[in-house]
Amino acid sequence: MKADAGRVIADLEELAALSSDERGAQRVAWTPTWQKARAWFAEKLAREVGVGVTRDGAGNLWASLPGTGAGSLVVGSHLDCVPCGGWLDGCLGVVAGIEVLRRVKARGAPPVTVHLVDWADEEGARFGRSLAGSAAAAGTLDSARELSHLKDRSGVALPDAMREHGVPIEGMADAATYFRARDVRAYLELHIEQGPVLEAMKKPCAVVLGTMGVERHLLSFTGQTAHSGAAPMHLRHDAFLAAAEFALACRAVAVERSGKAPRSRVVATCGVVKVEPNFVTAVPGAAEISVDLRALDAKVLAGMLAAAQRASKAAAKRHKVSVAWRPLMHIAPRPFDQTLMGFAARGIKEITGATAPQIPSGPLHDASEMAGIVPTAMVFAQSSPGISHTRLEDTPRPALDKSIRAFLLAVDHTLEHLGHEALPSSGRRC
């Protein structure tokens, strides 16, 4: 069956019209606009595919077409977005998933069950914990410890907001049981790249190698506050200069380790700097600086962290200050499944006529959680301009069209593969 992106793009436009204002998309999780988008999703599935949606313990929405063989394929992404977000982040994968179900349904019963999932609260935009729904399904979320104390800016507690949407936080662990019962053999996600790499390569879409691991830390440099006029340069203990040197060293750490090939790209970012006492006539006595290191290879990431630690000590010594590290977050790299990546590459080649580029993802996705428990792959659609989390986020129509069609073919190839695997003679999994 020919893969057609027209209905997907029309649906995306319909959803954008329904859930955006002049500042952008407003489908923030656990808000009425998100609820409206999810109601639209459920209604579309009922009308056009003839399936209902069920909700697991974490508020993820599932729609399913039962297959003839054992096991299942899951496709999905997230309808929620950041405030004033774009029209494609997350919903592209969910809306393409509706087309997956329409295509599968039109062919009769699939060889294995096909599930479409809309993960709840991928962005964590209102309460700060991203990937909540997929992490709950993967069994990596401790909701009592990680979620129960969270409040939004107006003081509303997350458990109250969830309860208002019919999802009691006490039941979140059930999402993992629900997932395990689906006997999932593969997870596929279509998402926009959200960065400038494919645009620079002039490629419409790519196979994703995996999501990068993250080392996020907060450093405190402590020196001595002094009068900017009275303190001679060689007698200062300037905490900010140490932090500034550290930031430049982190840049060098990433630049030195980034190869030309997209797969060896690594990044380092110092996004927060706080200086004390923070006035123009004071030598800063204290400086707090964050560092966020990302790499696809765990060894490379560990090497970057060690190099950054050495650089912080050297900078502290040079400026006669002390430095202390506080870890904020560690996420292991999540390489994707080679077999499924092969199907994604095949789909892209069939649509574009060219070998599919393979790039890592710097941002985390629901697929990062899935990759920890089931074979997983992603297709990225070019972002142009290469930005996201803004209403300016976009994918040129020809690239959007190709990415959707390539993803649909990747699903076809995966289903065919799982169908063979599901035959009684073979117990092998992909």
**What's CA 324's distance to the chain center, in Å?**
30
**What's CA 74's distance to the chain center, in Å?**
17
Determine the Cα–Cα distance for residues 158 and 178; give it in Å rounded to an integer: 22
**Which residue's CB is nearer to Zn ion, number 85 or number 111?**
85
Residue with tokens 């907060």, as numbered in its chain: 218
Q: Which positions from 61 through 100 interact with Zn ion, judged by CB under 5 A?
A: 89-90
Give 355: exposed, middle or buried? Use CB within 10 Å, 0-12, 13-18, 19+: exposed
**Which residue's CB is nearer to Zn ion, number 56 or number 80?**
80
Give φ, ψ of 345 to 5 degrees: -65, -40
Range 367-387 burial, b when 16+ CB lie within 10 A, else e = bbbbbebbbbbbbbbbbbebe
**Which residue's CB is nearer to Zn ion, number 393 or number 421?**
393
**Which residue's CB is nearer to Zn ion, number 79 or number 209?**
79
Give φ, ψ of 235 to 5 degrees: -105, 15
**Phi-psi map region of 171: left, alpha, beta (phi>0 left; psi -120 to 50 alpha):** alpha
Determine the Cα–Cα distance for residues 54 and 37; give it in Å rounded to an integer: 15
Q: Which amino acid is at 257?
A: R
Q: Least separation, in Å, of the C-beta of 399 and Zn ion?
A: 17
**Which residue's CB is nearer to Zn ion, number 89 or number 199?**
89
Q: Least separation, in Å, of the C-beta of 326 and Zn ion?
A: 28
Determine the Cα–Cα distance for residues 142 and 140; give it in Å rounded to an integer: 7
Relative orientation angle of helices 6-19 and 397-422, to the nearest 10 degrees:
110
Q: Least separation, in Å, of the C-beta of 89 and Zn ion?
A: 4
CA-to-CA separations, 160 to 59, 155, 378, in angstroms, rounded: 14, 11, 34
Determine the Cα–Cα distance for residues 11 and 96; give it in Å rounded to an integer: 9
Name the closest residue to Zn ion (Cβ): 90
Determine the Cα–Cα distance for residues 12 and 404; give it in Å rounded to an integer: 12
Q: Hey, what are 7's tokens? A: 């209905």
x/- map, 133-172, Zn ion, by CB under 5 A? ----------------------------------------
**Which residue's CB is nearer to Zn ion, number 89 or number 421?**
89
Q: Least separation, in Å, of the C-beta of 77 and Zn ion?
A: 7
Q: Least separation, in Å, of the C-beta of 229 and Zn ion?
A: 51
**Which residue's CB is nearer to Zn ion, number 211 or number 312?**
211
Q: Least separation, in Å, of the C-beta of 138 and Zn ion?
A: 16
**Which residue's CB is nearer to Zn ion, number 89 or number 288?**
89
Q: Least separation, in Å, of the C-beta of 315 and Zn ion?
A: 35
**Phi-psi map region of 63: left, alpha, beta (phi>0 left; psi -120 to 50 alpha):** beta
x/- map, 4-43, Zn ion, by CB under 5 A? ----------------------------------------
- For residue 238, state whether it binds Zn ion (rule: CB under 5 A): no
Q: Least separation, in Å, of the C-beta of 80 and Zn ion?
A: 9
Q: Least separation, in Å, of the C-beta of 46 and Zn ion?
A: 25
Rg (CA), the chain: 24
Whose CA is closest to 78, among 161, 145, 4, 15?
15
**What's CA 75's distance to the chain center, in Å?**
15
**Which residue's CB is nearer to Zn ion, number 90 or number 362?**
90
- Binding footprint of Zn ion, residue count (CB under 5 A): 2
Q: Least separation, in Å, of the C-beta of 88 and Zn ion?
A: 9
Whose CA is closest to 202, among 357, 343, 89, 90?
357
**Which residue's CB is nearer to Zn ion, number 90 or number 262?**
90
Q: What are the residues binding Zn ion (CB under 5 A)? A: 89-90
